[in-house]
Chain A
């Protein structure tokens, strides 16, 4: 009471002066705060640009692969000496000999010199014979003809062409002068070119970097995510709806809420251990299977989805509920007809955040054995597989120079995967959002 009296006693101009003096520092504080914000945004953008630039500049070359054009004569006496044309005979034939013959035809100076032969064969990938085999298996009538085809060059040749390896042996180059000469000749003749790297997109892992592909990991990740989505979305949303709309507020629901919040902060490797113990040891599910990976990732993404869904449900204004119930809607009808549609955009965003966390997780997958070296593309979610983040981890640990660019390429693919998922989330949000 005395305070207000004092204020009233002071003449107006003096009050204005006081306010003015304060105003200065208030404006300064405001400007300072804005500056902090701008600085942090610039820092964040800089980090992002540096990260993306380094990954893309390192990885983009992995999307092309050097290939050699070979003119292979499909000699019937080598492929199918008995003339049976049976599948077994065709698939087990000595295609390496055909490739070797094609290489020595290119460079007649090699002749029968074993060292020279080895050197010339070092230019071509072991995937070359696979290419020839495929050609013959697809159309056995070609046997006896001479065919021109592109086969993968070996990883060192590829790295040399892309400029990742020095020509000088003193600087880590792997080629002799004779080999360098052959490479130059082939480049000059147009027989050595970089093409789109189809192996990266169609093959599983391989010890040969030039034949190593991401497709196995992509399919493994995809299966895991489908399992995760199918389990965690309905479970998470149902849990959130029950806790938010139906459950009584008491000690038990409080306890559940605290525990769910804690689960969101549990290190993911713990979920991996749980998955190992429960899914593999107790339930006896197969090791390295994307299905089990999906189960483990469900544990990771569930808390996020539950928390986000509860927030979205809480944000629906209470009068929507009253309006529904006042008309005689049951609680379930009220939730399904009015509350859930309005909460859907938020729930979907939360789900995508949960899924994004799941796709980037490697630790739980390591625990359930998805870290193995697996060449085959998984046909079902129960087949052994790796996943994208695990594949990145595996390639990053590989010593070959060619795996460096492939590691970055795998990261680019993982980021693309995420970008596509986010685009899908934005589309769904737009679709479910009510604009009135």
Chain B
């Protein structure tokens, strides 16, 4: 256990760039009341890679994703056992503040969910609550940078004060990504980020994910095998709450070791 909490964001980011395992899960189980939703998952997620979680509906991939920033805490009756370490520190440790965790592990949801506020305020919200900017000009810089990184800046630069909900679906999703990276997280979790988008918007978001990999560790849940193949370096296949197979994306899609994986990616079930 290292004393991560005392380090600054910048130190953490610096360490993240060194690569290696960013998030390590050991024997993770999730129960929703009586239901055993996730069973004995062991998984190491590499830094600066895109890890895709695939599997049929109800297989536990979203459940696992939500363990990583403790969004499962919000669900009444949900219970998580096992150990999940971010940079070697247990995120379920009592001494760890969940607010701080979520600043380090950002999340993009299935349905684009910008706040009913202006585009600027949407992106500025995270930095504001975490006190990342000391002046208005600094805040503006963070916002513009984030929009730039999310590839949205050119499309919205003339209407920063217009409502974020007035954008198209694809733009809204990229706004949500900009909002997430404005907090300078180390890990970005994406829960089927393209399922509500048309193919062109999807292509843009996928392109963006590929660019973001340079600075962030990305975990993406997707129902689209093609998407997993296109954007990810590593793929994990879940089935009925169990992690069936985990490996390089190329290997998973060309030479799956498990019969279930093979059946799923060739479309025999799912």
Show the binding face of A for B, using Cβ within 8 Å. Answer: 248-249, 319-330, 333, 337-338, 342, 434, 436
Contact = CB atoms under 8 A, between A and B. Distances in A.
Given A319-B109, A319-B111, A322-B109, A327 B126 contact: yes
B102 A327 contact: yes
Interface string B93-112: 00000011111001101010
B74 interface: yes
A322 B71 contact: yes
B183 A327 contact: yes
A323 B71 contact: no
Contacts of A328: 99-103, 126, 129-130, 183
Contacts of B103: 327-328
Given A249-B76, A328-B103, A329-B99, A323 B116 contact: no
Contacts of B106: 326-327
A325 B74 contact: yes
Contacts of A329: 99, 125, 129
B113 interface: yes
Nearest to A333: B129
B147 to A, nearest CB: 16
B19 interface: no
Contacts, number: 62
Identify the interface centre among B103, B109, B115: most chain A CB within 10 Å of its CB.
Answer: B115
Contacts of B129: 327-329, 333, 337
Contacts of A323: 109, 113-115, 176
B113 A320 contact: yes
Nearest to A323: B113
B180 A327 contact: yes
B106 to A, nearest CB: 7
Interface in B208-254: none
The binding surface of chain A is classed by DSSP as helix
Nearest to A327: B126
B146 interface: no
B58 interface: no
Contacts of B183: 327-328
B113 A319 contact: yes
Nearest to A326: B107
Interface residues of B, number: 28
B125 A337 contact: yes
B263 interface: no
B78 to A, nearest CB: 13
B171 interface: no
Interface string B108-134: 010101111000000001100110000
A253 to B, nearest CB: 11
Contacts of B166: 436
Closest 8 CB pairs of A and B: A436-B163, A328-B103, A328-B102, A326-B107, A319-B113, A323-B113, A327-B126, A436-B165
8 contacts: A248-B76, A319-B109, A319-B111, A322-B107, A323-B114, A327-B179, A327-B183, A337-B125
Contacts of B163: 436
A325 B100 CA distance: 11
Contacts of B100: 328
A323 B165 CA distance: 13
Contacts of B16: none
Given A249-B76, A333-B129, A337-B125, A325 B115 contact: no
Contacts of A325: 71, 74, 102
A135 B143 CA distance: 71
A326 B69 contact: yes
Contacts of B180: 326-327
Contacts of B179: 327
Contacts of B126: 327-328
Identify the interface centre among A249, A328, A329, A330: most chain B CB within 10 Å of its CB.
Answer: A328
Nearest to B111: A319
B75 to A, nearest CB: 11
Nearest to A342: B116
Given A325-B74, A326-B107, A330-B99, 7 more contacts: A320-B116, A323-B176, A326-B106, A328-B103, A342-B116, A436-B116, A436-B163
Nearest to B176: A323
A342 B116 CA distance: 9
B105 to A, nearest CB: 9
Interface in B156-190: 163, 165-166, 176, 179-180, 183
A323 B130 CA distance: 15
Contacts of A320: 113, 115-116
Contact of A327 (B76, B125, B165): B125
Contacts of B113: 319-320, 322-323
B76 A326 contact: no
Contacts of A337: 125, 129
